[in-house]
Amino acid sequence: MIERNSFFSNLTSGYLFPEINKRRRAFASENPDAGLISLGIGNTTEPLTPHIVDALAAQVARLGTKDGYSGYGDEAGLSTLRDKIAEVLYENRISPDEVFVSDGAKCDIGRIQYLFGSRVSVAVQDPAYPVYVDGSVMIGAASAMISGTTNYAGITYMPCTRENSFFPDTALIPENSLVYFCSPNNPTGAVATREQLTVLVKTAREKGSIIIFDSAYAAFIRDPSLPRSIFEIDGARECAIEVGSFSKPVGFTGVRLGWTIVPKELAFADGTPVIQDWNRLFSTIFNGASNIAQAGGLASLEPAGLVETRETIDYYLENARIIRDALQGPNFGRMGVEVYGGDNAPYVWVRFPGKKSWDIFDAILEKCHVVCTPGAGFGPAGESYIRFSSFGHRDDILEAAQRLSRLEL
C-alpha cells in the first residue's frame, strides 16, 4: 500500500467547523423547534445584484454562439479585467501585468506555498484564518509539529489581542519568513492603520521576509484613512504579495473569482523575480478562472456594479451594527463584555472575560438558539472570544439580536 503523506498527519486545526456542526446538530435534534439562527458562517447570503447578473447571463449566451464562443483563455485572466482591477481597486499603483486573476483567494493562498517550499518559516497572526497554518502544514513547512498542541516548530504565532489592539508585535517575525497578514481581519474584524502597516513593511524588509497580505475584506472599509491595500505603503512592492477576492464584496463565494498581485520588484535571495516563478506555477497547475465569472467580476467594477456592490456591503455592515448594539446592552456591561470590529469588517469579535470560548458558544446555543464561532478555534489567542458573522438575512439578524440582548451568563 502507498504511504500517507506524513505532512497531512500533522494537521490538527481542521476540527473547528466540524465540531461546531456536531454540537449544532446535537442541539437541533433535541430541540427541533428552537429555530436556530446561524451567525457562525463566513459565507455570503444576499443575492447577486442585477448589473452583475446581466453580465454573467450575457457571457453565458455569448458562449452559445459561433462568434462569441471561447475556450481556454490567458491563464492570468482577461486583459480587460486585469486592467480594471489595477485601475479601480489599486488606482494604478500596480500594473495590469502584475495582476493574476484566479478562482479565489483561498486557492491562491494554497498555491502560493508551492513557491517557497517546505523549508520556509511561516508567521501568522493569532487568531487567524485557518488556511494559512493548514496550507503551510500540508507542504511540510511545519513538519516538526509538537504533537497535540497548536505550537508548530515551523510556524510562529503572533498574538493579536486587545492589549495590542489586535496588531502583532512585529519583533516576533522570523528572518526570511512568510508572514500571513489579513486586514480587515477575519476573525477579529480589526483593520490595520497606515502607521501599523508601515511598521509591518519596514520590519519585513529588514528581516528579508515576504508578507502575504490577504485583503479579502478590503471593500468593507468605510473609514477613508484606513489602507485598503498593502501597496498603499511605501516599500511594499519589495516585500509583499496581495491576495484579493470577489467572494465577500459581490457574493461570488459560489461563482469563484479572486486575484493575486505579485510586484515585479519582489525577488528571492538569488535575485530571481518572484513573479517569474508565479507565472510558471500559474500556467502549470492552474488553467485560468472561468470566463463567465470573469465577465461578472468585470461588471462589478463598472460604475453600476460599484454602486450595487456598495449597497450589498452596506447591508452587511448594518447587520454588524445591529449585532454590536445588541451586545452593548446593560447585562453585557455587567459581565464586562467587550465588543470589537464590525465597523469596517463583517465580523464582530467579542470578549467574555474569564470565560472559555467553547463554554460561551454552548451557552449562546442553549440559551439564545444562536450559533456563533468560538474564538479559540482560530488560534490560542482567540480564547475567551466569540466571532459573530454579519452575513445573514436582516430578519434573522434582528431576531438573533433580540435573543442575544437577553443573554445572561
Residue closer to ligand PLP, measured from CB, 40 or 332: 40
> Is 165:326 a contact under the CB 8 Å cutoff?
no
Which residue is it, cell 503572533?
158
Total site size for ligand PLP, rule CB under 6 A: 15
Residue closer to ligand PLP, measured from CB, 129 or 152: 129
- Measured CA distances, 220 to 85, 87, 96, 277, 390 (Å): 17, 19, 23, 32, 12
Residue closer to ligand PLP, measured from CB, 248 or 369: 248
Nearest 10 degrees: Cα torsion 96, 102, 106, 110: -90
Q: Does 289 bind ligand PLP (CB under 6 A)?
A: no
237 secondary structure, DSSP code: G
Nearest distance from residue 33's CB to ligand PLP, in Å?
32
Nearest distance from residue 378's CB to ligand PLP, in Å?
10
Scan residues 101-160 and list those touching ligand PLP (CB under 6 A).
104-107, 129
- The residue within the footprint of ligand PLP, chosen from 10, 113, 170, 247 (CB under 6 A), is 247
Give the residue closest to ligand PLP by C-beta.
Answer: 104
Scan residues 373-392 and list those touching ligand PLP (CB under 6 A).
none
Nearest distance from residue 216's CB to ligand PLP, in Å?
4
Nearest distance from residue 281's CB to ligand PLP, in Å?
17
Residue closer to ligand PLP, measured from CB, 245 or 319: 245
Q: Any alpha helices (H) in 98-254, and if so which ranges?
A: 105-116, 131-138, 194-206, 247-250
Nearest distance from residue 244's CB to ligand PLP, in Å?
8
Which residue is it, cell 465569472?
293
86 secondary structure, DSSP code: I
Residue closer to ligand PLP, measured from CB, 221 or 407: 221
Nearest distance from residue 100's CB to ligand PLP, in Å?
13
From the CB of residue 46, how many other CB atoms can be counted at a distance below 10 Å?
16
Distance CA 34, CA 171 (A): 48
Classified as helix, coil or strand, 382 is: helix
Q: Does 245 bind ligand PLP (CB under 6 A)?
A: yes
Q: Any alpha helices (H) in 86-240, and if so which ranges?
A: 105-116, 131-138, 194-206
Q: Does 191 bind ligand PLP (CB under 6 A)?
A: no
Residue closer to ligand PLP, measured from CB, 105 or 376: 105
Classified as helix, coil or strand, 357 is: helix
Peptide bond preceding 374 in cis form (omega within 30 of 0): no
Residue closer to ligand PLP, measured from CB, 43 or 118: 43
Nearest distance from residue 212's CB to ligand PLP, in Å?
10
Spatial CB neighbours of 304, under 8 Å, sequence gap ≥ 6: 51
Nearest distance from residue 51's CB to ligand PLP, in Å?
21
First to last CA, the chain: 52
> Is 382:375 a contact under the CB 8 Å cutoff?
yes
Scan residues 248-287 and list those touching ligand PLP (CB under 6 A).
248, 253, 258
Nearest distance from residue 278's CB to ligand PLP, in Å?
17
Q: Does 182 bind ligand PLP (CB under 6 A)?
A: yes
Residue closer to ligand PLP, measured from CB, 183 or 291: 183
Q: Where are the beta strands (DSSP E) in 20-150?
A: 37-38, 99-102, 121-126
Residue closer to ligand PLP, measured from CB, 106 or 369: 106
Scan residues 38-57 and list those touching ligand PLP (CB under 6 A).
42
Q: How many CA atoms lie within 13 A of 99 on its CB side?
A: 27
Contact residues toward ligand PLP (CB under 6 A) are 42, 104-107, 129, 182, 186, 214, 216, 245, 247-248, 253, 258
